[in-house]
Structure 1
Amino acid sequence: MNWNSVIDKTLEVLRNSDRGYVLLDMYNNILTPEEAAFNKISVTPYNALKFIQTQFSGMGLDISDKNTRIKLIALLEEYERLQKERIK
C-alpha cells in the first residue's frame, strides 16, 4: 500500500475537478476541458468525490465519514506537534 501515490492522485483529481466533476478519457486518464477540446478526445464526466472515496475505501480508509476525517486531521496535527517538540 503506497499512500503517497494515492494522495498524489487525489490531489490531481481535486486540482482538475470542476464543480466536483472530472473528465476521464477511455483509459481513465483525467483531462481538463481544455486538453480534451484541443486534442479532440472523447471524455466522460465523472464524480470526483466518488472517485476519491473509492480510492481511499479500497485502501481501508472511509473518508466519506466526517468523524473519520476530523480524527485524521487531529492525528496529523498531533503528530506534527510531537515532531516539533522532539526536535527541540
Structure 2
Amino acid sequence: MENKPNWNQVIDKSLEVLRQSDKGYVLMDMYNNILSPEEAAFRKIQVVPYNALLFIKTQFAALGLDIADSNVRIKLIALLEEYDRISKKRRSE
C-alpha cells in the first residue's frame, strides 16, 4: 500500500511554523516543539533557534516539491488560481 503524504497537514504545519517565526527563525526545544520566547522563559526550557524556512523547505522536498525554487512557487500559484477559476465556472453552469 502506497503511503501518500497528507498535504493538508504539511501545509497547516508550515503555516503554523511561519506564523510563529521571527524573521524566519523559530525556537525549538530538544523534542522539536516550537516555543515562543515567553513560553520558553516561563517554563525555563532550553531552546535553540532554528531556521523555519529551511525546516519547511526540507519538509516539502521530502514529499517531492521544491518550494525553494521560485519558478515552482509561481507555477503552483498559477495552477491553484486556474483550478479555482475553472471550478467556479463549472459550478455556475
Q: Does the pair score TM above 0.5? A: yes
Is residue 77 of structure 1 aligned with residue 81 of structure 2?
yes
**Structure 1 length-normalised TM:** 0.98
Query: Percent identity among equivalent residues?
Result: 73
Is residue 13 of structure 1 aligned with residue 17 of structure 2?
yes
Equivalence for 1:86? 90
**Structure 2 length-normalised TM:** 0.92
**Which digits, 9 at most, give the CA deviation of each residue in 1:23-78, with x for residues without a partner?**
00010011111111111110010011100100000000000000000000000000
Between the two proteins, the alignment pairs up a number of residues equal to: 88
What stretches of structure 1 move > 2 A for 4+ residues in a row? none
Equivalence for 2:42? 38
Structure 2 gaps, min length 5? none
> Of residues 66, 82, 88 in structure 2, which corresponds to 1:62?
66
Larger Rg: 2
Structure 1 gaps, min length 5? none
- 1:81 & 1:12 partners in 2: Cα distance? 27
